[in-house]
Amino acid sequence: MGYGIGARFETRQNFQAFDSTTYDIRSSRNWRDWVALAARTLHSAIVGAAERLYLDRHYPQAVFEAGKALIDLVKAKSGIALDGAPLMQSVFSVNNPILAFNDLSDQSDRDEQQGLMHLYTGAVLAHEHSRRGPRTGQIQAELDRRGRRRCRRG
């Protein structure tokens, strides 16, 4: 079983999570995207939040919605009202975890718990930055503007 929020809390075969009657996966582009998404072990709440956006190739928004679903899922499973990095650090703490990825019986298990706590904390920090930071279009516009300025100087 792989890592991920679905690996410990709810595992579901992703091929069953897709509703093929609502999305046409017959085109080659859609088929590749669908297979790439279906090959992952993801919690059904995360798939539900991001599937349509991902298959429609709205990747930044799909990642953002998946991040929101992850945070909501951890809150629901843990019963903790915190948000962001403090939520992940409290819930997946090595010393007193509310949710554990293993039984923490030896140093290897504790190291795994700590590593996954840091991964989830990092994912949430990236999600929070995407909420506050510039959007992809703004970044491209800024790069284009800088490129035009360089061309005029050269």
Looking at per-residue pLDDT, the higher value among 32 and 80 belongs to 80
The average pLDDT across 67-87 equals: 95
**H-only helix segments in the chain:** 5-9, 14-17, 28-38, 44-55, 59-78, 84-91, 107-132, 136-153
> Across the chain, what does the average pLDDT equal?
77
CB 41 within 8 A of CB 11: yes
Which DSSP symbol is given to 39? T
The average pLDDT across 91-100 equals: 96
CB 74 within 8 A of CB 66: no
Number of domains in the chain: 1
Residue in the block written with tokens 């992952």: 40
Query: Does residue 95 register a pLDDT over 90?
Result: yes
Whether the full predicted model's pTM is greater than 0.75, yes or no, is no
pLDDT tens, position by position, 131-140: 765 555 565 5
Rounded Cα gap, residues 91 and 117, in angstroms: 8
Range of the domain at 92: 5-153
